Amino acid sequence: MEAGTTNPIKVLFLCVANSARSQMAEGLLRHLGEGRFEAYSAGIEPSGIHPLAIEVMREIGIDISDQSSKPVSQFLGRLHFGYIITLCRWDEERCPTSFPDVSHRLHWELPDPAAAPEEQRLRSFREVRDRLKELVEELVAQEIRK
């Protein structure tokens, strides 16, 4: 944030179903953002939060069970976002362009952990969570340095 600025930076994480990656990213930024951010998530085809996303976030002390899966249309033209971050190529290609004055658009390509074979699914959720944590920490550190 700029010196003297007290308004938190709004960040919208976009994912197809808003069920795993974007929900975990929202929870991580809320937890790690040091009050500098307002985290939101949405999906192009929202379908509810995956239970394994809730489980693996609890493993690191973050409760996302109160978050909800939301359509991206809920945010179009309603908020100014400092960042819109897409989490898979399909979303990046279909990301609405009608968000006014978005300061930064980022793309973090991550596999859909829910698409992993059942015997590997929990491990996949943990791997995606851990990578998201690294990316969120980098975003927070970058903004603190500004």
- Among 8-22, 40-54, 76-90, the range scoring the smallest mean pLDDT is 76-90
- Report the domain count for the chain: 1
Residue 1 lies in a domain: no
pLDDT digits 0-9 by tens, 63-100 = 999 999 999 889 887 888 999 998 976 655 665 555 66
Portion of the chain with pLDDT greater than 90, in percent = 65
Question: Tokens representing 122?
Answer: 């929990």
- Rounded to an integer, the average pLDDT of 100-119 is 89
Residue 124 lies in a domain: yes
Q: What's residue 2's pLDDT?
A: 44
Residue 136 lies in a domain: yes
Domain range for residue 125?
Answer: 9-140
Which secondary structure element, helix H or strand E, spans residue 133, and what is its range? helix 121-145
- Can you tell me which residue has the tokens 């990213």? 25
Estimate the share of the chain in helix, then strand, then coil, as percent rounded to the nearest 5.
40, 15, 40
Distance (Å, rounded) from C-alpha 26 to C-alpha 41?
6
Which residues carry out catalysis?
15, 88, 95
- Reported confidence tier of residue 6, pLDDT bands at 50, 70, 90: confident
Q: What is the pTM of this model?
A: 0.91
Residue 4 lies in a domain: no
Residue 55 lies in a domain: yes
Residue 145 lies in a domain: no
- Rounded to an integer, the average pLDDT of 4-31 is 91
CB 15 within 8 A of CB 22: yes
Question: Tokens representing 8?
Answer: 């938190």
Q: How crowded is the C-beta side of 24, counted as CA atoms within 13 Å?
A: 30
Residue 66 lies in a domain: yes
Angle between the N-to-C axes of helices 121-145 and 51-59, in degrees from 0 to 180, rounded to the nearest 10:
60
Residue 60 lies in a domain: yes
- Reported confidence tier of residue 103, pLDDT bands at 50, 70, 90: confident
- Reported confidence tier of residue 145, pLDDT bands at 50, 70, 90: confident
CB 8 within 8 A of CB 37: yes
CATH of the domain at 82: 3.40.50.2300
